[in-house]
């Protein structure tokens, strides 16, 4: 079961802060982040990549996106 970060409805920088917190806790594995704006999608992806995590997939879901990031 992946960790899921629900950042829907939150404006920047909250989605990035929440993602960073999980990255710090997990250090590896998969994290799924739910966001509802394109800005948050870009920011979360950029932040994950800056921490050396890969963006495995971005899926449209409901009114937003489900971003899956992978750390190894």
Q: How many residues bind another protein (CB under 8 A)?
A: 20
Nearer to another protein, 27 or 39 (CB): 39
Task: Please pick, from the candidates 2, 3, 4, 13, the single residue that binds another protein as defined by CB under 8 A.
Answer: 13
Q: Output DSSP code: residue 7.
A: -
Handedness of CA 42, 5, 34, 72 (dihedral sign): positive
Task: Please pick, from the candidates 33, 35, 37, 69, the single residue that binds another protein as defined by CB under 8 A.
Answer: 37
Specify whether the CB–CB gap between 43 and 20 falls below 8 A: no
Task: Please pick, from the candidates 2, 3, 4, 46, the single residue that binds another protein as defined by CB under 8 A.
Answer: 46
Does the footprint of another protein cover residue 35 (CB under 8 A)? no
> Strands 64-71 and 54-61, how do they pair?
antiparallel
Nearer to another protein, 20 or 70 (CB): 20
Beta bridge partners of 67: 33, 58
């Amino acid at each position: 079961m992946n960790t899921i970060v629900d950042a829907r409805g939150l404006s920047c920088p909250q989605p990035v802060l929440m993602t960073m917190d999980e990255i710090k806790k997990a250090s590896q594995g998969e994290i799924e982040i739910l966001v509802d704006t394109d800005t948050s999608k870009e920011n979360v992806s950029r932040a994950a990549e800056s921490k050396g995590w890969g963006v495995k997939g971005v899926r449209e879901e409901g009114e937003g996106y489900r971003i899956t990031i992978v750390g190894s």
